[in-house]
Amino acid sequence: MKDLLVNINKAFESKARLGIMSVLMVNEQIDFNSLKELLDLTDGNLASHLKALEELEYIAVWKQFIGRKPNTTYRATDQGKKAFESHLQALENLIKGNR
Amino acid sequence: MKDLLVNINKAFESKARLGIMSVLMVNEQIDFNSLKELLDLTDGNLASHLKALEELEYIAVWKQFIGRKPNTTYRATDQGKKAFESHLQALENLIKGNR
């Protein structure tokens, strides 16, 4: 059982983070508001999860101006993609163990 | 994306709870120390997760004496098994969406 759980990554435990990473696996980059809309999260909740994933270097933030408007986009790092893949694999193994 | 996340159950998010429910899906019942050993958790940590799952009526606690020694065992309720199955199904769908 310990073996089945060892690759489950605490960083991806919550529904919000599973959602964020899932979106970033299939979208090269995405801005804050689109992500918020897609995941139906509040500003504060989304921001805190993004911050945590950024600190782990699983996502990277890109800040720029479009004209005079600030625009912040997010993308998954290679490290983040790899870690998320391992997490999904661990969940898959756990599911198989339960079927 | 919201659809993919809707059946992910916050009650089962953490590694500890995934572990507890996985054990209780394949074991009719289990005592506290065996569960602790299997999942490599501290007393306090395991107790708080069990308490939460009990309050949700996903697990049931059975207290008895074996001779003079108290013995507490845990089992998944039908409701708990059903909810956990839905959660696993939701994770599986999320994984499929990412592959």
CA atoms of B50 and B61, how far apart (whole Å)? 9
pLDDT category at A95 given cuts 50, 70, 90 is confident
Tens of pLDDT, residue by residue, chain B (99 residues): 777 788 899 999 999 999 999 999 989 999 999 999 999 999 999 999 999 999 999 999 999 888 998 889 999 999 999 999 999 999 988 888 776
Residue B67 Cα, gap to closest chain A Cα (Å): 30
* Residue B8 contacts A where some CB pair is shorter than 8 Å: yes
Token pair of A13 as six digits? 């435990």
Please give the residue of chain B at the shortest CA–CA distance from A35: B1
Mutate to test the interface with B, among A23, A87, A94, A96 (most CBs of B within 10 A): A94
Residue A64, classified by CB atoms within 10 Å of its CB into exposed (0-12), middle (13-18) or buried (19+), is exposed
Q: Do A88 and B97 touch (CB under 8 A)?
A: no
Which domains are assigned to chain B?
Answer: 13-93 (1.10.10.10)
Q: What is the pLDDT of residue A19?
A: 93
Q: Is A45 on the interface with B (CB under 8 A)?
A: no
| ipTM confidence | 0.74
C-alpha distances (whole Å) from A20 to each of A3, A41, B56, B84, B99 are 26, 10, 27, 22, 15
Euclidean distance between CA atoms A11 and B85, whole angstroms: 23
Integer angstrom CA distances of residue B8 from A24, A75, B5: 18, 23, 5
Residue in chain B lying closest to A3 (CA): B39
Name the minimum distance, in Å, from the CA of A46 to any CA of chain B: 14
Question: What tokens does A80 get?
Answer: 């983040």
What percentage of chain A exceeds 70 in pLDDT? 98
Q: What are phi and psi of A39, to 5 degrees?
A: -100, -10
The DSSP annotation for chain B comes to -HHHHTT--GGG-SHHHHHHHHHHHH-S-EEHHHHHHHHT--HHHHHHHHHHHHHTTSEEEEEEEETTEEEEEEEE-HHHHHHHHHHHHHHHHHHHHH-
Q: Do A39 and B1 touch (CB under 8 A)?
A: yes
Are the beta carbons of A92 and B95 separated by less than 8 Å? Answer: yes
